[in-house]
Amino acid sequence: MPTKTTSEILTPPAGFDVNNDGVYAYINPKKGSPVWERISDWICVRAITRDIYGQNHGRLCEFVTIDSQRREIIIEAKRFATGGTAIIAELLSLGFTIEQTPGAAKQLISLLSQWIPEKRITTTEKLGWLKQDAFVLPSTKVIGSPLVKFTGDKDLNAKSSCGTLEGWRENVASLAVGNAPMIVAISAGFSGPLMEPLGLESGGIHFWGGSSCGKSTLLRTAASIWSSPNEIASWRSTDTAFETQAKNANGMVLCIDEMGQASAQVVGETIYMLGNNRGKARGRANGKSTPITSWHLPVLSTGEICVATKLAEGNKKVQAGQHVRLLGIRVDEYEHGAFDELHDKQSGRLLSEYLTAGTKTHYGVAGPEFLRKFFLNVPARLEFADTLIQRFHRVAEKAHSGSGIGVEGRARTRFAAIAAAGEFATRFGLTGWSTYTATSACLELFGKWLSEQQDEDSPEALHRCIRGFLMNNAEQIQSLDAGGQYVEQPLAWEKNGYLFLTREIWDQIFDRHDPQLVARILRAYGSLEPGDGRNILSKMPTGAGANRGYKVSLSGFQE
């Protein structure tokens, strides 16, 4: 029998022995004396594996390759039922060596199937949180419990990290000081780990503004927290691709660049899908459905136009859910595009170039460190996160009274979570910012978002134009409903809850706007009822002064 020279405690099944020299089986031939026969290089079963539902059991095996490298493989238990030929082929392809003697492969399969160690490990095919025990990174490294293994698809081409935390802090995060949009973008990038355990809804911020203002740089700074900024997604994609990208960014951040490249339909459907935390249900050829992809994550987006204008291009209605799932923030009105503070750089363009170089050199290091420090005491961290969120709400309420309900309340909660994540990152020593820098920036952008709801081309501002017309001309609106009083030379007509306006009056109401763009925006928002086909103008009711005009739902203008 071979001598055991390993210091590791291994307890293989009876009839087998494992030591540094390899694996031996006790062979009892028909003729002659029993002998220990070497069947392979060193391999052992470290643990029994099963998923979080207690199903799909397997063996976690560790072995030494022909190049003397240690590797791991999880072998599903059901594969032993087919004889093990495929298992042997996979081991050989991974560099494992098996003796060519008759019966060696069969003996090895017998060893692996019978070996039942005490250790149990939970497997997951999903990146991000596994309950509150562990977090799986894109590199498939697990932070938290050592009793968790990732078994999902691995992107062998992805380079998950580069550079150092110190380099990222000095060349990226520290340059956000004085630049509120960048502080919020980076804080949002850190907010992913808070979302699922705190029950926060997915969604995020759409940074929009003119070309080359620095909005794409904001995405790169956030994306570099977890991975290479080269992996930023494009709006020019499909729903299936967005599902995959969301799944791979679960618990981290999903950055999507250039909304202008996508159709209005894709944008609208994607905003809903990402905010609903799950993909589409799809069937297989055998009639069974595939597992539905799910996620919890913040989303950062860029484009040269706001979401409402984008959806108006395709005559799509902007629902309140879409409005709050991707909050639009205009970022081209600061002193230097998206920046106020240049940090000794000569222009916003040069600052963007410096940040771009920094994110290409240092990435994928800040996020894992955030998690390592978060996992030092998860319950206490989550409790403090809730404290930070409630503090944000109190301060925001003082600054913007009544902003805690409805759509505004949901938007405020989103900024509160982003602020909390930024405060954690600062306290963990990741950003180089002062305490409450993230909170102040989020309060600033929340206030900016509130004010932008009242900008000239926002649906709210356009609604005010019509409200003003209704208030100032109430006596010159002819009701065509039964019992309506006669009005001489009416300016508009009302029937069945709709206001009918001629093109001339419409142009007067929106004389400081593009009347046709206004029509598309209000149609997208659900306030304007279009005509038949692609005609934006509706047929006027009998008694009105024109054949076609604008049909406005009065319910959309109730206080």
Average the pLDDT over 405-417 and give the result.
92
d(CA 382, CA 423): 13
Average the pLDDT over 197-203 and give the result.
95
The answer to whether residues 60 and 47 touch, using CB atoms and an 8 Å cutoff, is yes
**3-class state of residue 286 by DSSP:** coil
Residues above pLDDT 90, as percent of the chain: 71
Nearest by Cα to 107 from 173, 174, 17: 17
Residue 278: which residues within 8 A CB-CB, separation 6 or more? 292, 293, 294, 295
Question: H/E/C letters for each residue in 71-133?
Answer: EEEEEEHHHHHHCCHHHHHHHHHCCCCECCCCCHHHHHHHHHHHCCCCCEEEEECCCEEECCC
Q: Which band of pLDDT confidence, cut at 50, 70 and 90, is reported for residue 297?
A: very high
pLDDT for 293: 86
Residue ranges of alpha helices (H) inside 254-405 are: 264-275, 307-313, 320-325, 348-361, 366-374, 378-399
pLDDT at 283 over 60: no
pLDDT for 1: 44
The answer to whether residues 268 and 311 touch, using CB atoms and an 8 Å cutoff, is yes
Query: To which H or E segment does residue 495 belong?
Result: strand 492-495
Average the pLDDT over 273-291 and give the result.
71
Q: Which band of pLDDT confidence, cut at 50, 70 and 90, is reported for residue 282?
A: low
The answer to whether residues 298 and 418 touch, using CB atoms and an 8 Å cutoff, is yes
Rounded mean pLDDT of the chain? 91
pLDDT tens column, 217-256: 999 999 999 999 998 999 999 888 999 999 999 999 999 9
Query: To which H or E segment does residue 170 belong?
Result: helix 165-171
* Percent of the chain that is helix, strand, coil (3-state, to 5): 40, 20, 40
pLDDT for 456: 61
pLDDT tens column, 314-340: 766 566 667 789 999 999 999 999 999
Average the pLDDT over 198-212 and give the result.
94
pLDDT for 6: 42
Average the pLDDT over 528-549 and give the result.
89
Average the pLDDT over 184-192 and give the result.
99
d(CA 361, CA 33): 65
pLDDT tens column, 13-37: 999 999 999 999 999 877 778 899 9
Q: Which band of pLDDT confidence, cut at 50, 70 and 90, is reported for residue 153?
A: confident
pLDDT for 514: 84
Query: By mean pLDDT, which of 185-189, 445-449, 464-468 is the weakest?
Result: 464-468
Average the pLDDT over 377-397 and give the result.
97
Burial class (CB in 10 A: 0-12, 13-18, 19+), 77: middle
